[in-house]
Amino acid sequence: MEDQTYEVEVVDRVGSGDAFAGGFLYGYLTGKGIEASLKYGNAGAVLKHSCPGDLAWFTLEEVEKLIAGKGDLRISR
């Protein structure tokens, strides 16, 4: 199974695996299916790359916008 790739400027990689796991589990546990869960995980990891530190400072809305192709690859806080 594959998902799309994103070109993102990496600010910090720390925590991106956790963000992927969190996004994937969110999708899976809310009944969205494996393919959609992969999209949530991938989008979470991509967004995490744009934030410094080990916490993922983004919202579900930002993840869903990125999945839909309408979001920004950088989190601005």
- Would you list the domain boundaries of the chain? 16-67
Is pLDDT above 60 for 54?
yes
**Buried/exposed 4-19: b ≥16 CB within 10 Å, e otherwise:** eeeeeeeeeeebbeeb
Distance between CA atoms of residues 63 and 4, nearest Å: 14
Q: Read off the pLDDT of each residue in 53-77 and give the average, rounded to a whole number.
A: 84
Is pLDDT above 90 for 7?
no
What band does 44 get if pLDDT is binned at 50, 70 and 90? very high
Is pLDDT above 60 for 43?
yes
Between helices 60-67 and 34-49, what is the axis angle to 10°? 110
Q: Read off the pLDDT of each residue in 10-33 and give the average, rounded to a whole number.
A: 96
Residues labelled catalytic: 18
Is pLDDT above 70 for 48?
yes
